[in-house]
Amino acid sequence: MQSAIALPGVARGSRARERFQELLAALDVRIDGTRPFDIRVHDEKLFREALARGLHGILDAYVEGWWDCERLDELAARARSVDLNLPIAGRLSLLWRHLVARLLNRQTRRRSLAVRRHYDLGNDLFRAMLDKRMVYSGAYWSEATDLDQAQEAKLDLVCRKVALQPGMRVLDIGCGWGSFAKWAAERYGVTVVGITLSQNQLELGRGLCAGLPVELRLQDYRDLPRETFDALVSIGMFEHVGYKNYRAFGQVARRCLRADGLFLLQTIGRKASGVGSDPWISENIFPNSMLPSARQVTAGFEGLLLLEDWHSFGADYDKTLMAWWANFKANWPGLREKYGERFYRMWRCYLLTCAGSFRARDIQLWQIVFSQRGVPGGYRSIR
């Protein structure tokens, strides 16, 4: 990792440590403390990196091994619960990303292919981390006691919300390894077309769905032909669409949805509208990702689709991420040689800081149901 740039206003030496301690005090976190959410510093370069680059620098320093924390998830929850008063220098990169996001479409057809850096990392990694059906999105823990039950409950919830019936034809935008397609085809007797940008997902998904009325395609949503489906779903893909493309996404959904059909969108969401992405997540985990706000979703679909139901259950994603972390940690010995220790720290940072963000309710999880013209007599909310 590059060393911090010596910018005006960034403290040096012991002053940097003192300033960093002041920031941590707002979280009731101590340097080299004894509580699980306290941090242990291994390299004092952390202090200047934190003040120069903010949270991005702090997380990069973690990946480099400059500090540790037993309960990184709880530390993240504390950090996301308050507004850290970082120096101006620590906010410059965020301002730059905001300007770039305003000027450029970060999720064009070509740029959207960058997500393959994540989803094509290796099916062995995701098999080790996810549930038995390989569902890579927030689960529904209302009555579940383990990850497999929670993901199956989520898949079934989606099917019921779009009122699947035998013989229907369903489109899954962002199908992953085909977990929803397989469930819907087996349990509800429907035909499913799923699209993904990941070659690894496509190949494994086709194998998992073999013998079922499921067609998985390597295709961008903007390139869908003029086909009509009885129902549409998109589960955990909208985070890659970007605010400049919400209108185009809504137009595709309207064009592909039968006049009396239903469309369910599951997405992570942010509390307030913005145009940039989380810099650390975008750089290390999900390239060119962006979380929508509620206002951005409704504005993008306004005049195209009618909102029937909005279900928020972000606290469930905290449980999902902690279950993924437990699986990843337990199966790490079989992954270590291929991926290496630096990847382990990066992946731990990803899973646990995201869990903390959901725990602090800094980010949300939504299932939103849309129709074209409104459900006669009104839509009945399903939970």
CA distance linking residue 202 with residue 280, whole number of Å: 27
SS3 content of the chain, % helix, strand, coil (to 5): 50, 15, 35
Residue 307's alpha-carbon distances to 62, 268, 299, 367, 381, in angstroms, are 42, 17, 11, 11, 12
If asked whether residues 346 and 212 sit together in one domain, one would say: yes
pLDDT at 7 (0 to 100): 38
- 145 plus 170 within the same structural domain: yes
Strand order in the sheet with 306-312: 214-218, 191-196, 169-173, 229-235, 257-270, 363-371, 306-312
User: What integer pLDDT is reported at residue 95 of this predicted model?
Assistant: 67
Give pLDDT, residue 11. Answer: 43
Summarize pLDDT for 249-286 with one digit per residue, the tens: 999 999 999 999 999 999 999 999 998 788 899 999 99
Q: What is the pLDDT of residue 92?
A: 60
Whether residues 205 and 353 share a domain: the answer is yes
Which of 69, 159, 175, 354 is labelled catalytic?
354
Q: Which residues of the chain have pLDDT under 70?
A: 1-13, 84-98, 100-101
Name 371's bridge partners: 262, 306
Q: Is 259 exposed, middle or buried (0-12, 13-18, 19+ CB in 10 A)?
A: exposed
Q: Does one domain contain both 208 and 292?
A: yes
Distance of CA 132 to the CA centre of its chain: 20
- Whether residue 311 is contained in a domain is answered as yes
Residue 153 domain-assigned?
yes
364 within domain boundaries: yes
Query: Within this chain, do residues 40 and 141 fall inside the same structural domain, yes or no?
Result: no
Beta carbons within 8 Å of 259's beta carbon, 6+ residues apart: 372, 373
| 1 part of a folded domain | no
Q: Which H or E run contains 78?
A: helix 72-80
Looking at 53, 74, 103, which one is the last position of a domain?
Answer: 103
pTM: 0.93
How many angstroms separate the CA atoms of 151 and 285, rounded? 22
In a domain, 172, yes or no: yes
Is residue 137 located within the same domain as residue 152? yes
Same-domain status, 266 and 351: yes
Are residues 269 and 203 located together in one domain of the fold? yes
Q: Which residue in 58, 54, 77, 78 sits closest to 68, CA to CA? A: 58
Q: How far is 348 from 284, CA to CA, in rounded Å?
A: 12
Residue 50 sits in the same domain as residue 167: no
Domain of 142, CATH number, reads: 3.40.50.150
What pLDDT score does 179 carry? Answer: 98
Residue span of the structural domain in which 283 resides: 109-371
Q: Are residues 182 and 294 in the same domain?
A: yes
Residue 144: closest CA among 316, 277, 334, 26: 316
Give dist(CA 59, CA 88) in Å, integer.
Answer: 18
The pLDDT value recorded for residue 59 is 96
Which of 52, 74, 103 is the last residue before a domain boundary?
103
Q: For 95, phi and psi rounded to 5 degrees? A: -65, -40
Q: What digits encode the pLDDT tens for the residues 75-118?
A: 999 999 887 666 555 556 666 666 766 778 888 989 999 999 99
Q: Report yes or no on 302 lying in a domain.
A: yes
CB 181 within 8 A of CB 194: yes
- What is the three-class DSSP state of 318? helix
Query: Which one, of 184, 177, 10, lies nearest residue 87 by Cα?
Result: 10
User: What secondary structure letter does DSSP report for 184?
Assistant: H
Based on the structure, what is the number of domains in the chain? Answer: 2
Tell me, what amino acid is at 312?
A: S
Instruction: Give catalytic status of residue 354 as yes or no.
Output: yes
Residue 137 sits in the same domain as residue 217: yes
Report yes or no on 8 lying in a domain: no
97 and 122 inside one domain: no
User: Which pair of tokens denotes residue 348?
Assistant: 């731990």
Final residue of a structural domain among 87, 103, 119: 103
